[in-house]
Structure 1
Amino acid sequence: MGRTVTPYSRQMQQVESGLLEFRRGLRKPDQEVFDDLIRIAKLQVQAGVMASGPYPIDTMLLTMMIDLRKELHRLKKEIITLKENGTKTNSIESESRIQSEFESKSAANHT
Structure 2
Amino acid sequence: MGRTVVPITQAIHEEVASWAKFRRALRKEDQSALDDCFQAALMHAAEGAYATRTDPYEVVVMAILVEQQKAIRALQAEVARLSEEGSGI
TM-score, length basis structure 2: 0.91
Q: 1:16 matched to which residue of 2? A: 16
Matched letter for residue 19 of structure 1: W
Q: In the aligned structure 1, how far is the partner of 2:51 from the partner of 2:20? A: 25
Cα distance, 1:32 vs. partner?
0.4
The runs of 5 or more residues in structure 1 that have no matched partner are 89-111
Q: Deviations over 1:25-71 (max 9, x none)?
A: 10111000001111111111111101121110111111111111111
Q: 2:76 matched to which residue of 1? A: 76
Q: In the aligned structure 1, how far is the partner of 2:10 from the partner of 2:77? A: 37
Q: Equivalences for 1:1-111 in 2 at 5 Å?
A: 1-87=1-87
User: Which gives a bigger RCO, structure 1 or 2 (Cα 8 Å, sep 6+)?
Assistant: 2
TM-score, length basis structure 1: 0.74
RMSD: 1.3
Deviates more, 1:20-29 or 1:46-55: 46-55
Matched letter for residue 46 of structure 2: Q
Q: 1:98 matched to which residue of 2? A: none
Moved over 2 A (4+): none
Higher-Rg member (1/2): 1
Matched letter for residue 65 of structure 2: M
Cα distance, 1:87 vs. partner?
4.7
Aligned residue pairs, count: 88
